Amino acid sequence: MNECEHETANQSQERVEGMYEYGYRKAGYGPDELVTDAHGNPIAVTDAMLRAEDAAKQTTSTPHLCYYSPRIPGNTGSAIRLCAVTGTILHLVEPLGFNLKDTKLRRAGLDYHDMAHVVLHPDFDDLVRTMPDSRIIAFTAHATKLYTEVDYRPSDILLFGPEPGDIPDPMDIMAGPHVAEQVRLPMRPSLRSLNLTNCASIAVYEAWRQLNFAGGR
CA distance 83 to 207: 13
- pLDDT, position 142: 86
What CATH number does the domain containing 173 carry? Answer: 3.40.1280.10
User: At 172, is the pLDDT very low, low, confident or very high (cuts 50, 70, 90)?
Assistant: confident
The answer to whether the CB of 130 falls within 8 A of the CB of 54 is no
User: At 86, is the pLDDT very low, low, confident or very high (cuts 50, 70, 90)?
Assistant: very high
The answer to whether the CB of 158 falls within 8 A of the CB of 191 is no
Instruction: Report residue 209: phi and psi, to 5°.
Output: -60, -45
Residues sharing a CB contact under 8 Å with residue 210, sequence separation 6 or more, in sequence order: 151, 152
Q: Check residues 43 and 141 and name the one with the higher pLDDT.
A: 141
E strand or H helix at 20: strand 20-21
pLDDT, one tens digit per residue, over 18-68 is 555 544 445 554 444 445 555 556 555 545 677 888 888 888 999 999 999
- 3-class DSSP state for residue 14? helix
- 11 within domain boundaries: no
The answer to whether the CB of 68 falls within 8 A of the CB of 124 is yes
Q: Check residues 2 and 86 and name the one with the higher pLDDT.
A: 86
- pLDDT, position 109: 45
Burial (Cβ within 10 Å: 0-12, 13-18, ≥19) of residue 200: buried
Q: Is 158 assigned to a binding site?
A: no
Q: Check residues 115 and 91 and name the one with the higher pLDDT.
A: 91
Question: Cα–chain-centroid distance for residue 204?
Answer: 13
E strand or H helix at 25: strand 24-25
Residue 52's nearest CA partner among 61, 44, 43, 64 is: 64
Please give the DSSP secondary-structure letter assigned to residue 49. Answer: B
The answer to whether the CB of 81 falls within 8 A of the CB of 105 is no
- 156 within domain boundaries: yes
Whether the predicted pLDDT of 213 surpasses 70: yes
pTM: 0.76
**Percent of the chain scoring above 90 in pLDDT:** 40
Whether the predicted pLDDT of 72 surpasses 70: yes
- 1 within domain boundaries: no
Q: Is 69 assigned to a binding site?
A: no
pLDDT, one tens digit per residue, over 96-140 is 887 766 555 555 444 444 556 889 899 999 999 999 999 999 999
- 53 within domain boundaries: yes
Domain that holds residue 181: 28-210
Q: Is 161 assigned to a binding site?
A: yes
CA distance 15 to 33: 9
Whether the predicted pLDDT of 193 surpasses 80: no
User: At 166, is the pLDDT very low, low, confident or very high (cuts 50, 70, 90)?
Assistant: low
- pLDDT, position 145: 96
- 77 within domain boundaries: yes
CA distance 93 to 4: 36
- pLDDT, position 47: 57
Crossing angle (nearest 10°) for helices 73-86 and 196-210: 20
- 45 within domain boundaries: yes
- pLDDT, position 167: 53
Q: Count the domains in the chain.
A: 1
- 3-class DSSP state for residue 216? coil
- 19 within domain boundaries: no
- 20 within domain boundaries: no
Question: Residue 95, preceding bond cis, omega within 30 degrees?
Answer: yes
